[in-house]
């Protein structure tokens, strides 16, 4: 089984899978007294130190960045962010310990179908093209890692196509939480999706509705897709 959260160093730990890396990075930041603006060690050094994969490290960086603990500059490195003294929402690492898959589904059902509806109304031709490309990439995936990258991109492109920065911000936070909950709960029984994986047809239905500017259908198709995914991953009734 090819799962990111089965990296060496996380198999025998009592810390929840996936979040071992996040907690290690937080401990590193605290123990070495990094100050705002300080650069973290390189990815290569952190991978060697923690005995993890590059994908695992980057997902941990995604979480820390969304929590406001770090920021990244392509080509220069990862840096400690200025502290936010007025945090109004739980950090992702705190939230994931309180959230159940059912609660996550309810949150997604409240937001993502509405985003798909807005995308059908406001998407540019370039947006539609990018959504279609992401859908096609997912259908060609031969591993779960490849599929999940394409799936993330598809949902991200749909959110971008809604042309609403507030909805985009809400989606990005929700998506980070989704990844974290999936790390802790999802166990795959195969190396990759079957050629007739249900999500392929569901993604096609969503894409077709957006392409046809059918807002009601896009909303309904996204809702059906989210319920279907939840049942497949978490066994919800």
pLDDT at 178: 81
Residue 58 and residue 118 in one domain? no
| Residue 103 belongs to some domain of the structure | yes
Residues 6+ apart with CB under 8 A from 191: 1, 2, 143, 144
| Residue 91 belongs to some domain of the structure | no
> Three-state SS for 72?
strand
User: How far apart are the C-alpha atoms of 101 and 182, rounded to whole Å?
Assistant: 8
pLDDT at 95: 76
Residue 61 and residue 103 in one domain? no
Q: What is the pTM of this model?
A: 0.62
pLDDT tens over the chain, length 237 residues: 333 333 444 443 333 444 578 888 888 888 777 877 888 999 999 999 988 988 889 888 888 888 778 888 777 889 888 765 444 456 666 777 778 878 888 999 999 999 999 999 999 999 999 999 999 999 998 898 888 889 989 999 999 999 999 999 899 888 888 877 765 555 667 788 888 888 899 999 999 999 999 999 999 999 999 999 888 766 654
Residue 165 and residue 74 in one domain? no
| Residue 92 belongs to some domain of the structure | no
Residue 228 CB neighbours (<10 A): 14
Residue 105 and residue 12 in one domain? no
Residue 143 and residue 50 in one domain? no
Residue 140 and residue 216 in one domain? yes
Residues 6+ apart with CB under 8 A from 112: 155, 171, 174, 222, 226
Q: Supply the CATH number for residue 168's domain.
A: 1.20.120.530
User: How far apart are the C-alpha atoms of 162 and 225, rounded to whole Å?
Assistant: 18
| Residue 64 belongs to some domain of the structure | yes
Last residue within a domain, chosen from 20, 49, 80? 80
Residue 121 and residue 67 in one domain? no
pLDDT at 13: 39
Q: H-helix or E-strand containing 234?
A: helix 215-234
| Residue 86 belongs to some domain of the structure | no
φ, ψ at 119 (rounded to 5°) = -65, -40
156-187 exposure pattern, b = at least 16 Cβ within 10 A, e = fewer: bbbbbbbebeebbebbeebbbbbbbbbbebbe
| Residue 90 belongs to some domain of the structure | no
Residue 135 and residue 192 in one domain? yes
User: What secondary structure does DSSP assign to 73-123, as a single string?
Assistant: ETTTEEEEPPP-TT--S--HHHHTTT--HHHHHHHHHHHHHHHHHHHHHH-
Q: Supply the CATH number for residue 51's domain.
A: 1.10.10.10
pLDDT at 83: 66
| Residue 19 belongs to some domain of the structure | yes
pLDDT at 12: 38
Residue 117 and residue 221 in one domain? yes
> Three-state SS for 39?
strand
pLDDT at 222: 97
Residue 55 and residue 137 in one domain? no
User: How far apart are the C-alpha atoms of 149 and 208, rounded to whole Å?
Assistant: 21
Domain count, the chain: 2
Residue 31 and residue 125 in one domain? no
Residue 112 and residue 220 in one domain? yes
Q: Are 9 and 50 in contact (CB under 8 A)?
A: yes
pLDDT at 99: 81
pLDDT at 115: 98
Parent domain of 59: 4-80
Last residue within a domain, chosen from 49, 80, 111? 80
Last residue within a domain, chosen from 50, 80, 110? 80
């Amino acid at each position: 089984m090819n799962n990111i959260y089965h990296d060496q160093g996380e198999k025998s730990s009592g810390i929840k899978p996936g979040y071992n890396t996040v907690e290690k990075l937080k401990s590193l930041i605290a123990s070495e007294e990094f100050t705002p603006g300080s650069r973290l060690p390189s990815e290569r050094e952190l991978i060697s130190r923690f005995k993890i994969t590059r994908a695992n490290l980057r997902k941990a960086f995604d979480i820390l960045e969304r929590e406001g603990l770090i920021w990244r500059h392509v080509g220069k490195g990862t840096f400690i962010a200025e502290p936010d003294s007025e945090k109004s929402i739980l950090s992702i690492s705190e939230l994931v310990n309180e959230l159940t898959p059912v609660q996550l589904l309810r949150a997604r059902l409240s937001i993502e179908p509405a985003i798909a509806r807005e995308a059908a109304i406001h998407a540019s031709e370039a947006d539609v093209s990018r959504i279609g490309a992401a859908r096609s990439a997912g259908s060609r995936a031969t591993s779960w890692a490849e599929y999940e990258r394409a799936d993330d991109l598809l949902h991200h492109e749909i959110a971008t196509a809604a042309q609403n920065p507030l909805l985009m911000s809400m989606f990005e936070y929700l998506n980070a939480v989704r990844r974290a909950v999936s790390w802790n709960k999802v166990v795959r029984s195969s190396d990759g999706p079957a050629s007739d994986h249900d999500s392929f047809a569901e993604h096609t239905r969503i894409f077709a509705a957006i392409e046809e500017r059918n807002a009601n259908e896009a909303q309904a198709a996204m809702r059906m897709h989210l319920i279907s995914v939840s049942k497949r991953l978490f066994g919800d009734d």
